[in-house]
Amino acid sequence: MADHYEVLGVSREATTDEIKKAYRRLARQLHPDVNPGADASEKFKLVTHAYDVLSDAKQRQKYDLGPQAGFDGGGAGNFGNFGDIFETFFGGGGGSTRGPRSRRERGQDALIRVELDLDEIIFGTHRDLEVDTAIMCETCSGTCCRPGTSPITCDICHGTGSIQRAVRSLLGNVMTSSPCGSCRGYGTIIATPCMTCQGQGRVRARRTVPVDIPAGVDTGLRLQMPGSGEVGPAGGPNGDLYLEMKVRHHDVFSRDGDDLLCTLEVPMTSAILGTSVTVAALDGDIEVEIKAGVQSSEVLTIKERGVTRLRGAGRGDLRVGVQVVTPTRLDHKERDLIEQFASRHAAPAPSLSQFQQGLFAKIRDRFRG
């Protein structure tokens, strides 16, 4: 710890006027506006702190008595800690600088919504998406300068990106640093900006982004494409592109997890006698076997004809809910035949049973039961 008297170059018996004269002489030599060197800045802080202590009668008395009087010295060893405190509040301290900041910054992330048909998510699909985004300026290649020119060093901060100032505080004069207002902390100035990008290093344009959308995605799912977002200022690294999925409504098929659901309307005669029918699924024709006596709300399961699982192997199932269709218009001959059938098969009278909200409510109950 430096002795305050030695720092000011006076004896311990020096008067207040002698201490003041010594401080003024050294301050004129070491002031940052006169002597901008780092070594001079450190000495100026020591001189200022020594004067603050010795110019105050009570502080000087405590200092002369030593640590037993409760004075910790406040010398160069502790001043570094004060510098850290002032760096937090003032953006710099202790004469330290962090250097100029870079013009190159990471670009922003982008979010676009992609609408898909139900059949596209079974096996996945490919899309070429047109994205309105920021791309690197081809004229200056991200330098922000007109071709043939380059940034020039700021003549205010001399390339440091910051300005140092002496701030009066309870601890004396403390050197703080703040971003240079002339170059905005970059340390350089674009004297001749690129005419194409106006000195930004990037321009707005439409870009085609090829995307392979995996099978099994669902509405609300977001896919991240690292490095496919906007180019940053001054040709900085790209942000990320996020794709939010939305699956369009399908008139025939619906989805329940990895399973596909549909309804098969079966004529009453086919339900009684049984039949085989070919139906057009989303991924091709399927042969469905209708057993004789099938009832409405029964579920026929066709394995591995649902949606491909997003994470994992295999596919879900296709679940076909049977709905027996009763004819509403009969001619006389058809009615006679039905009556003959009814007379030969005595059926129980209609009776109340549990209420069902609908066919698929009943089907889903069976799925989960």
Binding residues for Zn(2+): 137, 140, 154, 157, 180, 183, 194, 197
Integer Cα distance of 253 and 262 in angstroms:
5
> In whole angstroms, what is the distance from residue 56 CA to residue 201 CA?
56
Q: In what order do the strands lie in the sheet with 254-256?
A: 254-256, 259-267, 318-325, 299-302
Cα angle: 198, vertex 202, 207; to 5 degrees: 135
Identity at 136, one-letter amino acid code? M
164 half-sphere exposure, CB direction, 13 A CA radius:
24
Give the C-alpha separation, 74 to 168, whole Å.
16
Burial class (CB within 10 angstroms; exposed 0-12, middle 13-18, buried 19+) of 122: buried
Q: Beta strand 222-225 with 241-247: parallel, antiparallel or unpaired?
A: antiparallel
Residue 174 contacts by C-beta under 8 Å, 6 or more apart in sequence?
45, 82, 83, 86, 90, 93, 94, 166, 167
Q: Which residues are annotated as a binding site?
A: 137, 140, 154, 157, 180, 183, 194, 197
Q: What is the 3-state secondary structure (H, E, C) of 104-173?
A: CCCCCCEEEEEEECCCHHHHCEEEEEEEEEEEECCCCCCCCECCCCCCEECCCCCCCCEEEEEEEECCEE
Bridge partner residues of 255 (DSSP): 260
